[in-house]
Amino acid sequence: FYGAVPVAAKRTAVSDANLMVGYVGGDEPRATACAVITATSKGAAAKAAEEIALSYWNAREEFRFGPVTGPLAEMLDIAEKAETSPVILADSADNPTGGGVGDRADVLNALIARGFDGALIAGITDRPAVEACFAVGKGATLAVTIGGSLDGSSTPAKVQAEVVLLSDTGVAAERQAVVRIGGITVVLAARRRPYHNIADFTLLGLDPKAVRLLVVKSGYLSPELAPIATPNLMALTQGVVNQDIEGLTSNRRARPAFPFDRDFSYIPQARFSARWTDR
C-alpha cells in the first residue's frame, strides 16, 4: 500500500504525494488521516488525493500489528513459557514517544504479582522516586512508590527496592536510578524519555541481551532492539495511547470515522488549500 503512494508523485503536474495517517490518540477533528498532494493542476491534484484516500479506505480491514499482540496477561504468559531470551515486551499504551505519559507501573505490578525473575523494565518516569533513591544512596534499601507521579489514573507500585546504580549528569532533570525489586530490575527516570538504543542501557551498566525479559515503553521496537528480541511481544496495556483503538475516547472526533463506526460508506472528496493559485 505505501509503495503505491509515491507512484502518484510521478504523474504529470504532480510534484509530491503523501499520506498523513493521522494521530488516533488525539480526540480532535483534525487528527484524522489525509492524502496531501502538491501539484500545478487542480485536476491532477484531486485525482491523486482521491485515489490515495480510497486506496487507504479499501485496505482498512487488512492492517495488522507486526509483533505478537494481546492483553498484558496473555503476553506475560508467553514470556514466562519462553525458552529463548531476551523476550522484549512493548508496553504500548504508555509510550512517551507516541504521546504516552511514561510513568505507569501496570507491567511492574503484574510482574511482582507473578514473582517473575529476570526482568528489566526501562524505564518508568518518576522524579520523586529518583530523588528518594539519591537521598538514600547506592546500595541502600528503601520503601518507595513507583509510578503514577504524573498520570493519576494509574496504579503505582509500593515496594521495597534496593538502589543498584545512580546516574547524575549534574542536571536534576536528567537523573536516573536503577533499582532492584526481587528478580526485577527497574530503571527510573526523572523526565519522560525512551530507552530505544543499546547505549541507553550500557551507560547504566545494564545488558539488554542478558535478561530473560526486557520491558520497554514503546509501540514498536527500535532498529537496535528489534534484532535482539526473541520474540518481540506487544501488550495492549492501559494508557493515553492505548492501541486497542476502538476503546479510545471519542468526544470530539469527526464522525463517522473508522474503526469507531463501521456501517457507513465513504466517497473521497478533495479539498483545495486556500493558498492555491492558478498559474
Q: Tell me: the pLDDT tens digits for 24-48? A: 888 999 999 999 999 999 999 999 9
* Percent of the chain scoring above 90 in pLDDT: 82
Cell numbers at 239, concatenated: 494508557
pLDDT at position 279 over 60: no
pLDDT digits (tens, 9 = 90+) for 84-100: 999 999 999 999 999 99
pLDDT at position 183 over 70: yes
Whole-structure pTM value = 0.88
pLDDT at position 234 over 80: yes
Q: Which residues contact 275 (CB under 8 A, 6 or more apart)?
A: none
Q: Residue 248 has what pLDDT?
A: 86
Q: What is the mean pLDDT of the chain?
A: 94
Q: How many whole angstroms separate alpha carbon 182 and alpha carbon 132?
A: 19
Cell numbers at 107, concatenated: 507491567
Q: How many whole angstroms separate alpha carbon 96 and alpha carbon 219?
A: 10
- In terms of DSSP bridges, do strands 141-146 and 157-167 run parallel, antiparallel, or are they unpaired? antiparallel
Q: How many whole angstroms separate alpha carbon 196 and alpha carbon 122?
A: 9
